[in-house]
Structure 1
Amino acid sequence: MKLYTITLVGLLGFLNLQAQDYYFPERNTEWEVKSPKDFKIKAAALQKAVDFASANEYSGSRDLRIAIVKGFEKEPFHKILGPTKKRGGPAGMILKNGYVIAQWGDTKRVDMTFSVTKSFLSTMAGLAEDEGLISDTKSLVGDYIWDGTFDGAHNSKITWEHLLQQNSAWSGELWGGKDWADRPPSEGGIDDWKLITPNEPGKVMEYNDVRVNVLAYSLTHVWRKPMPLVLKERIMDKIGASSTWRWFGYDDAWTEIDGLQMKSVTGGGHSGAGIFISAEDMARFGMLFLNNGKWKHDQLISENWINKATTPSTPNANYGYMWWLNKKGARHWDGLSENIYYAAGFGGNFIIIDKENDIVVVTRWLEPSKVGEFMTKVNTAF
């Protein structure tokens, strides 16, 4: 028994030491910088990756109203429904054990982050499950939201997991957006698209912002609070994020809960809105996930949730609960760890978690088709 006690104490000490190896910046302080050489990282190779990111700016307009309208011009009835903001140039950070080992551009500038917002929204669902507000992601959403949103033979089958994995095939209209008009098939026209029979929930992944916004609406009713308030109180304040980030919904996306009018936010910037945030605040969020849901020693998100969120869905091996996964599949980055996972948004916005190398990578406005090549260059430095 004595030997066992010593071994346990030693183990706990080792685990505590490991946790302290990560650096967590305090609020309103400059992020501590270390040389790549401090970690035996090839500085010249890392600089090549930074130069590559700086030289491969997203090709769309810096006026994001123009970029959005152009990017989704095929969609019938598409228009700007929420706030937008002109963007800056390429920017980013590479953290090793929490320390900045490379950065470029204006990392404090607040910009739209588009579908990176989905990974924040997923975390709101994780907190709801951790709190017991949702019994399990496999439970039916209609057991919680009974206002008609999940009525009918089709929508009544939808679980929280289906919404999180974007394979719900929810059918309907929300805030003026019709599910069938969001990213319609390449063939056909309006008369064809309107008549498409929805897929069975859980069978096919379909990237669809209307359905993501249904998740945001449902979580707002479960929490009985606006999502930005939940995010601020449960996550952003505790990780020392700045006061500059914002999470918007469409202009008319108001719902009443407990007699109070609340804005239901979006999970992206497809028609405007979503999270507007700096690269540094994105990096703080990434550090929380690198450290298995803990900021320093404070467990903000359960490890169980992170494991669920980064488990491949059946229809798409590269997608979990609104996190992209570097598993073998259509979006696999060859030569890089299959344990890498990341948040990704229109225009080349990424938060990339590489647990094996203890790194977080944030990029803003990197041409999206170049991110795999960029990460290969980063990996070469290790």
Structure 2
Amino acid sequence: MIKQQQIVIIIISMTIFLSCGSHKPQFEGVPFEKHETLDNTGFTQQRLDSLTNYLKNNLETTGMVILKDGKILYEYGDINEVGYIASCRKSVLSMLYGKYVENGVINLNQKIGEIGIDEDKGLLEIEKTATINNIITSRSGVFYEPANGGYDENNILERGSVKPGSYFVYNNWDFNVAGAILEMKSGKTVYQEIEEQLAIPLGFQDWNIKNQKEKYNKSKSRYPAHHMYLSTRDMAKIGQLMLNKGEWNGKQIISKNWIDKITTTVTPTEIVNKRYGLNESSPFQFSYGYMWWLADNFKQHPDFEGAYTAHGWGGQFITVIPKLKIVVTHKYKVPTLVNWGLKPGGVSNDAFWQLLYVFVTTNNN
């Protein structure tokens, strides 16, 4: 996972406003049930109160929801506030692909050059041989600067120097093109797909498509960033759908096979470590799948085996812990950019993971 200082450099280079107009929800939505008692949850009120005190005194968390067995165990802050979810958008985008891969509209082995993906300044012939699968696993080998921040210069190589599929680097060009491909193949916008595949069937409470907006910079790239703005409690529904293997109220919204595929390692932990200066002694380590980060070493604690997360700059998380049937969503309200730089603030990766580790593993007895 990208180190905090690298992300800060990336984000400071962004020339967008992260605030979004607040439009009222389009529909009422369906709230989660809440645990009426902590009996049989494995948690105590003292433990939840300790979490609240820690958040208030130590972190800049603006919203947090913890689901246990599909019901709200804990909530903190303004969980209905709609805000920027940063790179969590990529994990959401990966979910939207499933429908079209399985019905044959999207062929993951198709080359991007065959479907007209190009740039005004031109892509190299070898770059055009990258497949859609390479794009959505961030292994395209296309080292092209994206329209928005997220250009990992430390690990970008000379263009044309690697075969597509052979080299992992976290570059927003791939993710932005992934959004463009979905729109091209589906005939709908990314935001229409979110509404139809997720917001309506899951009963989002704070969704309004007017809150969503793309970031263009055509002087850099043809392909915009499809930024997403969601509330903490609607993010929790996405996490619960993932935990449910795509099932919601008895209906298969996204196929189990696709959920399994996107949460399976493509880029192993040692490569992720190599890219971002980590080593095997780091307490929290992740491999990378189809735009989801997959827990590999979480202080060697067995409860985190099979856990995975969407992660966005500043403290945006959708984290799923299947062994415990827990979903955690976390938000930090990203301030408006000032002079193309960010005000200080946010919740770091390490701070979030350490908080989660202590909360989940603390003995109640």
Distance 1:128 1:333, change over 3 A: farther
* One-letter amino acid of the structure 1 residue matched with residue 113 of structure 2: G
Give the Cα–Cα distance (whole angstroms) in 2 for the partners of residues 55 and 158 of structure 1: 48
Counterpart of 2:197, as a letter, is R
Aligned to 1:239: 202
Q: Of the candidates 208, 223, 240, which is equivalent to residue 171 of structure 2?
A: 208
Aligned partner of 1:218 in structure 2 is 181
Contact 1:93 1:107 in 2 (8 A): yes
Contact kept in structure 2, 1:247 and 1:265, CA below 8 Å: no
Q: Percent identity?
A: 24
**Alpha-carbon spacing, 1:309–1:55, altered in 2? closer, same or farther (3 Å):** farther
Give distance in 2, aligned partners of 1:199 and 1:131: 32
TM-score (norm 2): 0.73
Distance 2:294 2:216 in 1: 33
Quickly say closer, same or farther: Cα 1:106–1:198, change in 2 above 3 A: farther
Using the alignment, how far apart are the partners of 2:224 and 2:238 within structure 1?
19
Do 2:146 and 2:223's aligned partners in 1 also have CA atoms closer than 8 Å? Answer: no
Return the offset for 1:120.
Answer: 1.0
Residue 108 of structure 1 aligns with an amino acid whose one-letter code is N
Structure 2 gap segments, 5+ residues each: 1-26, 273-285, 333-346
Residue of structure 1 in register with 2:311 after alignment: 344
Q: Is the 8 A contact 2:65 2:232 kept in 1?
A: yes
The within-5 A match list for 1:307-322 is 307-314=260-267, 315-316=271-272, 318-322=287-291
- RMSD (CA atoms): 2.8
The one-letter code of the counterpart of 1:301 is: I
**Amino acid aligned to 2:247:** K
What TM-score does the superposition give when structure 1 sets the normalisation length? Answer: 0.70
2:152 counterpart letter in structure 1: R
Return closer, same or farther for 1:200/1:38 CA change in 2, 3 Å cut-off: same
2:53 aligns to what? 51
Where does the alignment leave 5 or more consecutive residues of structure 1 unmatched? 1-25, 59-88, 187-192, 254-262, 268-273
SS across alignment from 2:202: coil
Q: 1:141 is matched with which residue?
A: 112
Query: Deviation of residue 196 (structure 1)?
Result: 5.8
Alpha carbons 1:95, 1:102 under 8 Å: kept: yes
Equivalent position to 1:326, from 265, 272, 295: 295
Native 8 Å contact 1:121 1:216 kept in 2: yes
Change (3 A) 1:45 1:151: same
Task: Write the letter of the residue equivalent to 1:327.
Answer: D
Map of 1:7 onto structure 2:
none
How many pairs were matched up?
Answer: 298
SS across alignment from 2:324: coil
User: Which has the larger Rg?
Assistant: 1
| Aligned residue identity for 1:205 | F
Deviations 1:164-193 (A, max 9, x none): 111212244565x69xx822128xxxxxx7
Aligned with residue 185 of structure 1, among 122, 132, 154: 154
Does the 8 Å contact 2:143/2:159 carry over to 1? no
Which residue identity is paired with 2:177? V
Residue 27 and residue 39 in structure 1: after superposition, are their counterparts in 2 closer, same or farther (change >3 A)? farther
